[in-house]
Amino acid sequence: MSSHSNPSASSLEVWLKTTTVWLDAICRSAPVSENGTHVELSDLARASKTYWDQQAQIWSCLWRVGAPSGLEAPEDRRFLDREWHEHPWYNAIRRLYLANSRLIADVVESADLDASTKEKLRFFANQLIDAASPTNFAATNPEVARLAQESGGKSLAQGLANLSNDLARRQITITDEAAFEVGRNVAVSPGSVVFECELMELIQYAPLTEQVACRPLVIVPPCVNKFYILDLQPANSFVRYACEQGYTVFLVSWRNPDASLGDLRWDDYVESGVCQAIRVARSIARADKVNTLGWCVGGTLLACALAVQRASAEDTVASMTLLTTLLDFAQPGDLGAFVDETSVRYREAIAGPGSILSGKDLALVFQMLRANDLLWPYHVDQYLKGGQPPPFDLLYWNADTTNLPGSMVAWLLRNTYLENNLRVPGKVNVCGHPLDLGSISVPSYVLAAEADHIVPWQAAYKSALLIGSEPEFVLASSGHIAGVINPPSAHKRSYRTRKSLAQTPDAWLADTKVHPGSWWTHWSAWLRRHAGKAIAAPTRPGNDIWTPLAPAPGRYVKVRTL
């Protein structure tokens, strides 16, 4: 339809074009100050002009089907259905949404705020933008409308049933959970629980080589998730890979705490968790020292434990590996948007016996960090289309949430994300000792991931600078999970290395060498230098003091959050 055949359309176009010309003139003719110099137009004014430009293009295209709009965006998975581009109504809705989204983002960027406040505003503005997508509403999603018509409304009815079920369980269903069972088809590496306390079980894995390094490897996974992300399937199991490389592997399996453990503190996780695991593993292996590895907050716990051991004059650790770990929280990633003085004081007020941060609440926070990947697609597929998610081991692990003790969370939030106290020597006490991360003098391997939104790689780099010995810093491609879980057999991704550290992350990055494939092989070659001589592999788990209690993966990991 031509705009000239529709008077209202013609009038609308004239008005929009006039407005656009007027705004363009304003932007091109900056105001003149008293001394005759031109004054730069504000970012907000430019954002407004861009927005009205887009409005004119959108509405012009609405009346002239097939006319170019000038608003084409990079491919967006939400709008792959052809009707988003070919149907005039849905096409206009899509482009109006994109224009409004850009306006909100531009307004946020034009705000005169300090860096921390702007980062929080940017995060929550993105949450609003993601939630407002027309794909998320039945009335404005052509795929939902088409499926409802084809199924006679059955898809909508099933979607309501799916929503009701998820509301009852207080968790979005993101995979077919009935398809997996811990110990049956995930977390299947053979081994034995050789130690147990109220906080953790320690698993010793069976050797896969005739000889092993005399110094064992002790792995400290994050306590905010179940450990078996490191042992999902044999093909991508980091645990199995380490065993195949000739290391005796011990792994901490954190308990999923209930209200009876609500008063457990950060110090308990350090002493009764990490330090105790090191002692038991060293005793069983009859080794002079152990090698250690921590991931995410498990790495933060590990670094604290090694600093405590240093203050206690213990010398039982040969090396430390940190995977996507924060020690310096000046750049806390997207999680920093949830932490301020008010929220931390609330956590402190309710901390103590019986106080638990629900794993389901924590899972929702992590889903919000990548809402367009981990939240809204499931809302659309399950609630609007009435579908059922397929089985996926990684998403099964992601949905297997873990509670945290309130006292431990309160300490962690204040001393890391809020006040960033760990980077200041002696600022906090851990297990009765002033904490000094600079006292950690063992050889260290620090891995970061380029696209990590939880631990920005630049923050991981600055964290590495706090360690007393110069670490081997490695930058893997991809994000927080895929950057770490990347077996060599997959022949995927890459990693960067440099012979020495630089003063800044950018300076380090500018002089790095890119290696195709997995960082696992690079790490294993590095660890070999600290693993000690080769000895015969143990023929049985444990020893006379620490006898096997149960087969791996143990019982703590099987406790589900209610």
How buried is residue 42: exposed, middle or buried, by Cβ count under 10 Å (0-12/13-18/19+)? exposed
CA distances from 326 to 94, 262, 287, 458 (A): 39, 24, 29, 10
The helix or strand, by DSSP H or E, that contains position 455, with its residue range, turns out to be none
Active-site residue, 243 included: no
Q: Which pair of tokens denotes residue 72?
A: 């084409």
Phi, psi of 80 (to 5 degrees): -80, -25
Residue from 295, 171, 291 nearest 221 by CA: 295
CA distances from 487 to 212, 477, 519 (A): 21, 13, 8
User: Alpha-carbon distance 501 to 475, whole Å?
Assistant: 12
Paired with 218 in beta bridges are 250, 292
3 state DSSP class of 237: coil
β strands within 198-309, DSSP E: 200-205, 211-213, 217-220, 249-254, 290-295
Residues 6 or more apart from 227 whose CB is under 8 A from it?
187, 219, 221, 251, 252, 253, 254, 553, 557
Residues 6 or more apart from 111 whose CB is under 8 A from it?
118, 121
Residues 6 or more apart from 309 whose CB is under 8 A from it?
275, 278, 315, 316, 317
Side-chain-side CA neighbours of residue 192 (13 Å): 17
Q: Residue 304 carries which side chain, given as an amino acid letter? A: C
Tokens 């407002």: give the residue. Answer: 132
Catalytic residue among 61, 223, 243, 296: 296
Residue 306 · residue 270 · CB < 8 Å = no
Phi, psi of 48 (to 5 degrees): -65, -40
Active site residue ranges: 296
